[in-house]
Chains A and B, each alone.
Chain A
Amino acid sequence: MSISRRDFLKIAGLSSLGIGFSATDLLWKDRAEAVEYMSSPKGLTAKRWAMIVDLKKFKTEEDYRRVIDACHRIHNVPDFGNPKDEVKWIWTDTFEHAFPFQKNEYLPEGIQEKKALLFCNHCDNPPCVRVCPTKATFKRKDGIVAQDYHRCIGCRFCMAACPFGSRSFNWRDPRPFIKEMNPEFPTRTKGVVEKCNFCVERLAKGLGPKCAEVSNGGLIFGDLADPDSEVRKILKTHYTIRRKAELGTRPSVFYIIGGDEDA
């Protein structure tokens, strides 16, 4: 195929214009913000997404397992089978370890050993975002603390900064350890940090987080900034606690520990 002189000049002219524009872009415009998903018109939006964990609804081992497995499966979270390489987005620990500042040896029976579901708190004042030297982790306008796996340099400052142990690092290539690959969600490379993303990829499609979907009402997701939202209604009528709230990170995940059966 040959191109005429005229076509060539047209292409050359347009390309140089393009280069010129990208250069001015670089110099004059704000630097590209890290983004993960562009929201579609169907997408769910909020001012500040939040989650309520109603621990009363988690009765059997299976109740926890279903939630954890669903999350890890759709997000291609690897299973290394050893604690040293471990990567996890959502998991459990007993009350006294989940809420170490709430030590109380006289708690009602069963609470001390009760398992709490743990995941990223999507703090309103997130220390991980504050310390990240590349803005690879950032807070979105809807309050979600997100992570750009392609910008992360793997310095792990965010892991030192997170008071909740919510972040995992890919100490080695995770791909061979993903049981069944979900092609809809990116896999990660070795050397980057990852964590729960409140299912931003599903919110963009108009769906709520997967964990809440399969939790049989144990996890309630909604907009904390909207006084009429379900989460606000529950918060108004139930006593809830947050993990290490005294540290001032303002977690967006609330826990109902005991009380009335129905939330």
Chain B
Amino acid sequence: MLEKALTGSRRYWGWIFFLLAVIGVGFIFYLRQFAYGLGITGMSRDVSWGLYIGQFTFLVGVAASAVMLVIPYYLHDFKKFGKIVILGEFLAVSAVTMCMLFIFVDMGQPIRIMNVVLHPTPNSIMFWDAMVLNGYLFLNIVIGWTTLGADRKGVAPPSWVKPLIYLSIPWAVSIHTVTAFLYAGLPGRPFWLSAIMAARFLASAFAAGPALLIILALIVRKLTKFDPGKEPIQALGKIVTYAMVANVFFLLLEVFTAFYSQIPGHMHSFEYLYAGLDGHGKLVPLMWTSAVLAVVALILLINPGTRRKESLLVVACAAVFVSLWIDKGFGLIVGGFVPNPFERVTEYWPTMPETMITIAVWAIGLLVLTVLYKVAVSVREAQLESGTDSTH
């Protein structure tokens, strides 16, 4: 099937080469980081994780969100997701690929990465995260590729895929739960030390992932002959709505606990993020942007009139995505390190090389996504032409 990604319009190849160029530039910066060390980034002794780990955390959520298509289609027989469930699975493949790359570029000694396998350490959450992420990547590649291959031939997928599909559902939950446990079990970081962290991660994941999927489905409709359909997009819109409501609710629960208890350590990170602490407030404008976008998104999503209008739904989805990207891909990580264990404030801001490397990893993800979507869309287009449509 991969050969379908090798034929395409000028626009398709233009996009591919654009992504390759971005990747190339980022790679040159990575070589500099490799030679100089992570000091090339904005991270320091006090804020020892930054943009890379933030992106990793956010993208684990995007990857997990494929389950929001798999559950309705495979467990509730919601047939309308039949044609687009593959878009969710391939998005998961792309997102997990980016997760792994973000971990890799964050390593101080990347050439020693196999030490995680050579000295397996089950008491480290990082070990489990590596295991579940690899497993999830494998599951989605196998499931996506096999079901699409069967679709192409107009036959039902082989029976051995079904157990894998069912397995992928709890597995998706596990990748984001384990990722939340990276943070939620650390004794000296009160901002992260919260039992609701995993639930909050899942809620934000099931909002940001499907929001991105809606945007991608609309792009696919615009650029190709394959139309994901109006109803699946509306159904996804409802999922984004519920998940975003849950996410904002969970965030407000954290705010309540911190500020009603008045425990300084629990309030400090929130104060730093939303108001500034000891005269330091680099992240304040960003965090309020996230908050305002979340409110705008909720107004557009909860109101059925605006949600049903695709032109407004896509605005809401973009708002959800950007809001959560700021909240989880940046604020959550940096906020956990400020103030430091001595209650002093050291600020963090990514450097230019760090930003370029980050953009390049996203470009790799988009490249993987483009190639996989090209294959999926080509199969769907062929089905339209021949009139064989096994999913209906």
Instruction: Determine if chain A interacts with chain B.
Output: yes
Instruction: Give the B-binding residues of A (Cβ under 8 A).
Output: 31, 83-87, 93, 96-98, 100, 127, 130-136, 151-157, 159-165, 168-173, 189-193, 244, 247-249
Interface of chain A: mostly helix, strand, loop or mixed: loop
Say whether A93 contacts B37, CB under 8 Å. Answer: no
Bound Cα distance from A134 to B46, whole angstroms: 23
Binds A, one of B18-26, B153-161, B339-347, B373-381: B339-347
Given the interface pairs A156-B49, A160-B186, A168-B45, the reply to whether A134 lies near B121 with Cβ below 8 Å is: yes
Given the interface pairs A135-B119, A153-B113, A162-B341, the reply to whether A170 lies near B108 with Cβ below 8 Å is: yes
Beta-carbon contacts under 8 Å, B12-43 to A: 36-39, 43
Taking CB atoms, residues of chain A closer than 8 Å to B112 are 134, 151-154
Say whether B182 contacts A98, CB under 8 Å. Answer: no
Given the interface pairs A162-B188, A169-B108, the reply to whether A83 lies near B48 with Cβ below 8 Å is: no
Taking CB atoms, residues of chain B closer than 8 Å to A169 are 38, 45, 48, 108
- A–B Cβ pairs within 8 angstroms, 10 of them: A86-B45, A151-B115, A153-B108, A153-B109, A153-B112, A156-B108, A157-B126, A163-B187, A172-B37, A190-B39
The number of residues on chain B lying at the interface, defined by a beta carbon within 8 Å of a beta carbon of chain A, is 44
Say whether B46 contacts A154, CB under 8 Å. Answer: no
Taking CB atoms, residues of chain A closer than 8 Å to B336 are 160
Say whether A171 contacts B116, CB under 8 Å. Answer: no
Bound Cα distance from A98 to B336, whole angstroms: 19
Say whether A154 contacts B187, CB under 8 Å. Answer: no
Taking CB atoms, residues of chain B closer than 8 Å to A98 are 342
Bound Cα distance from A96 to B344, whole angstroms: 11
Say whether B124 contacts A157, CB under 8 Å. Answer: yes
Say whether B126 contacts A190, CB under 8 Å. Answer: no
Residue of B whose beta carbon sits closest to that of A98: B342
Given the interface pairs A85-B39, A247-B187, the reply to whether A155 lies near B108 with Cβ below 8 Å is: yes
Say whether A165 contacts B341, CB under 8 Å. Answer: yes
Taking CB atoms, residues of chain B closer than 8 Å to A153 are 107-110, 112-113, 115-116
Say whether A171 contacts B124, CB under 8 Å. Answer: no
Say whether A155 contacts B342, CB under 8 Å. Answer: no
Bound Cα distance from A132 to B183, whole angstroms: 13
Tell whether B266 is near chain A: CB-to-CB under 8 Å. Answer: no
Say whether A136 contacts B115, CB under 8 Å. Answer: yes
Taking CB atoms, residues of chain B closer than 8 Å to A156 are 48-49, 106, 108
